[in-house]
């Protein structure tokens, strides 16, 4: 049986993930928690937009602003 997308993200807890947001920003960070609405809590987060990187530490991203989320390999 194949895994659901949320199962893949759930297994990535404690690992780095990449998020692409509707506003064009990309966020990388260590996944701490997520819920069924894809609200995501990241630690050691870094926001990238137009080649500018900003370290923000801990951040909560609302699920309806996310285009995609993927574990970083």
Q: From first to last of the 73 residues of the chain, give the pLDDT tens digit.
A: 578 888 999 999 999 999 999 999 999 999 999 999 999 999 999 999 888 999 999 999 999 999 999 999 8
Tokens standing for residue 52: 């500018």
Q: Is 22 helix (H, G, I), strand (E, B) or coil?
A: coil
Q: Which domains does the chain have, with CATH numbers?
A: 5-64 (2.30.30.100)
Residue 19 has what pLDDT?
A: 97
Closest C-alpha to 58, from 72, 71, 70, 47? 47
Q: Do the Cβ atoms of 22 and 11 come closer than 8 Å? A: no
Residue 34 has what pLDDT?
A: 96
Residue 1 has what pLDDT?
A: 58
Closest C-alpha to 20, from 43, 39, 47? 47
Q: Do the Cβ atoms of 38 and 66 come closer than 8 Å? A: yes
């Amino acid at each position: 049986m194949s895994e659901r997308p949320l199962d893949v993200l759930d297994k990535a807890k404690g690992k780095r993930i990449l998020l692409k947001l509707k506003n064009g920003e990309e966020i990388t960070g260590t996944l701490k928690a997520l819920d069924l609405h894809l609200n995501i809590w990241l630690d050691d987060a870094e926001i990238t937009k137009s080649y500018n990187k900003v370290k923000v530490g801990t951040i909560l991203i609302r699920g309806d602003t996310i285009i995609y989320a993927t574990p970083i390999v």
